[in-house]
Amino acid sequence: MKRLLKNNIIKFIFTKYLTFALQMLNSILIAKKLSINLFGIYGFAILILQYFSYSNLGLNYSYSVISSSIKKDANYNKNDLISTSLNLQIIISLVLLIVFLIGSKLNLFNKYNFNDYFFILIIITILQQINILLVNIFRIENKINGINFFYFITPFLQLISIIFLKDIYLFYGLLYSNILGCMIAIIFFHYESPIIIKNIKFLYFKNYREILTRGLYLLAYNFTFYGIMLSTRTIVGKYFSIEDFALFNFSNTISNSVFLLLGSINFLFYPKLIRMITDKNTEEIFLFIDIIRRYYLTLTVLIVFISLFFLPLLFLYIPDYSNSIMCIQILLLGQILLTNSFGFSTLLIQRKKELSMTLIALMAILIIIFTSFISFYLTKKIEIIATCMLIGVLCYNFFIIKTGVKNLNLKPRFIFVLQIVFKLNLFIPVFLYLILSYFYTYYYINLSITFLIYIIFNRKDLKKIVNLVLSIIKNEKNIISI
């Protein structure tokens, strides 16, 4: 028991479960306590924060990949890399303040009363960017406590705001909770690892060109990758009413919360994956990617099925959002499809193919925008707009995997790539559930039948995942250290 309590991975996963539960609870309570109109405005504020988050020029991505890929390269002293990255982040923060001074004179997004909280969003962005860079620094150093604290503190403070505030006061309380949480996290980072923080050299910019160049390529890819989901939300926010956007934003919040835990595990092992891909030959890489994709997707579908069992119970508490149930199911499927490129996307990043990935993601965004506009003028239904996102994600997956296969010097034949994209043991239960949901109205019968089929088809991989988790618990250093 003592060994488990000292295990960094166990502490990280436990904290993520706790944070996952807290964020799910917060999402439900926020939707309950805010009016649909205010919840739509809050969703818009979060959407803007996501766009603002890309103003850091990819410093966090650049630091993580450089440290993982060329850790022993003489050109990159660890302290020099940290100092340069943090100094560049300070400059970006000053630029963001200038952006506010210019933007505050304009009447932007009046439908959402944007100017009332514009400055607050700028401050949140600056503090979050500093924290995210520190998170990536601590992740490479395998210092989990600071990361756990950062991801937990803001949801905890938001829960306090939810308990004591309501209406417009709750709206601002949620935003100020972000500011306070980020400030406390920076202090915690300082005391958790005083050696790293105290060794910072201010006005130090060694190798900044390569850091920025790599960062900008990675930023372009990440912006377009997450833009696949953001583009759909942006279209709904622009052309639908605040109430419709609130329903769509609620669906997006629930689907993202469901994938929080899996995404955080990916975050923890990401540097190790890059290192392992760096050290393997072509044949070993393909087999390695095939295994980790199989396990990752198996877990993804399992989490989705489990969450679907609880979905009707959610609407008993917040019946005003019950019309979003179909949209939630579509977005959950979209999340499954988006994780389908896992492994191959890591390979392409390690091999500096961010430009190719960016172009593929841009193609997917254009497909989403084009089909969404057609659907909007024909139907004006949010569910159809969400379905357009699925089309773009499918195209993205196919071409990312095709590019990855080609990069491994394998022939990217259409059928071969399609077999990699759609693993039948995983997608037969998923698509069967969607078909039954469309033609058959008994929710839990549909879900139980398809979940049972999923268990039967994937029982061997589920057993292997359990064994893998046990091995991770016993041997954490070899799993996450680089």
Give the DSSP per-residue string, 196-261.
HHHT--TT--TTHHHHHHHHHHHHHHHHHHHHHHHHHHHHHHHHS-HHHHHHHHHHHHHHHHHTHH
Which spans in 8-117 are helix H?
8-33, 36-52, 59-69, 78-103
The alpha carbon of 348 is separated from its chain's Cα centroid by a whole number of angstroms, namely 18
On whether residue 19 sits in a domain, the answer given is yes
pLDDT at 292 over 90: no
Whether residues 458 and 319 fall in one domain: yes
> Which helix (H) or strand (E) covers residue 132, if one does?
helix 118-140
> What is the H or E stretch that residue 161 is in?
helix 144-164
Instruction: Give the whole-angstrom CA distance, residue 30 versus residue 52.
Output: 23
Mean per-residue pLDDT for 124-153? 84
Q: Are 303 and 439 members of one domain?
A: yes
> Which domain, by its residues, includes 15?
1-206
Predicted structure pTM score: 0.74
**pLDDT interval class at 7 (50, 70, 90):** low
Number of other residues whose CB lies within 10 A of the CB of residue 93? 18
Q: What is the pLDDT of residue 154?
A: 92
Mark whether 15 and 107 lie in a shared domain: yes
Q: How confident is the model at residue 9, as a pLDDT?
A: 66
Given a cut of 90, whether residue 354 has pLDDT beyond it is: no
Encoded tokens for 474: 């016993």
Output the pLDDT for position 120: 93
Give a yes or no: residue 451 inside a domain.
yes
pLDDT tens-digit readout, 23-68? 888 888 998 898 888 988 998 899 889 888 888 888 887 887 777 6
Average pLDDT score over the chain = 80
**pLDDT class of 180 with cuts at 50, 70, 90:** very high
Element (H, E) at 331: helix 325-338
Per-residue tokens: 371: 């089909």
Q: Are 175 and 122 in contact (CB under 8 A)?
A: no
Looking at the domain assignment, is residue 212 inside a domain?
no
Q: Determine the pLDDT at residue 386.
A: 82
One domain for residues 34 and 145: yes
Please tell me whether residues 433 and 391 are part of one structural domain. yes
pLDDT band, residue 287 (cuts 50/70/90): confident
**DSSP helix/strand/coil, 353:** coil
Structure-token pair, residue 60: 């966090």
Is residue 140 predicted with pLDDT exceeding 70?
A: yes
List the single range of 145-154, 175-184, 237-246, 472-481 with lowest mean pLDDT: 472-481
Helices (H) and strands (E) in the chain, counts: 21, 0
Identify whether 221 is part of a domain: yes
In-domain check, residue 85: yes
State which of 187, 206, 225 marks the end of a domain: 206
Structure tokens at 219: 């930023």
Amino acid at 333: L
Does residue 267 have a pLDDT over 80?
A: no
Q: For 428-456, how does the pLDDT look when each residue is reduced to its tens digit (9 = 90+)?
A: 888 888 788 777 677 888 889 999 999 99
For residues 434 and 304, membership in a common domain is answered with: yes
CB proximity list for 257: less than 8 A, separation 6 or greater: 20, 23, 24, 27
Based on the domain organization, do 118 and 78 belong to the same domain? yes
Question: Do the domain assignments include residue 342?
Answer: yes
Q: For residue 340, give the 3-state DSSP assignment.
A: helix
pLDDT band of residue 181 (cuts 50, 70, 90) is: very high
Asked, for residue 211, whether it belongs to a domain, the answer is: no
Whether the per-residue pLDDT at 121 is higher than 90: the answer is yes
Q: Which long-range contacts (CB under 8 A, 24 or more apart) does 68-77 make?
A: 68/140, 68/270, 68/271, 68/272, 68/274, 68/275, 68/482, 69/274, 69/275, 69/278, 69/350, 71/275, 71/482, 75/207, 76/207, 77/206
**Residue 464: pLDDT band with limits 50, 70, 90:** confident
User: pLDDT at residue 172 above 90?
Assistant: yes
Is residue 274 domain-shared with residue 202, that is, in the same domain? no
Number of domains in the chain: 2
- Are residue 67 and residue 119 in the same domain, yes or no? yes
- Give the CA-trace dihedral at 215, 216, 221, 223, to 10 degrees: 100
Q: Which of 175, 206, 237 is the last residue of a domain?
A: 206
Most confident of 79-88, 252-261, 449-458: 449-458
**71 or 229: which leads in pLDDT:** 229
Q: Return the residue matching tokens 């923890």.
A: 268
pLDDT band at 126 (very low <50, low <70, confident <90, very high): very high
- Is residue 71 helix, strand or coil? coil
Indicate whether 262 and 381 sit together in one domain. Answer: yes
Q: What percent of the chain has pLDDT over 90?
A: 11
- Last-in-domain residue among 165, 186, 206: 206
Distance CA 400, CA 168 (A): 44
User: Is residue 186 domain-shared with residue 252, that is, in the same domain?
Assistant: no
CB of 269 closer than 8 Å to CB of 480: yes
Per-residue pLDDT at 435: 81
Tell me: do 273 and 138 sit in the same domain.
no
102 confidence band (pLDDT: 50, 70, 90): confident
pLDDT digits (tens, 9 = 90+) for 192-226: 764 555 566 666 677 777 778 877 777 777 777 77
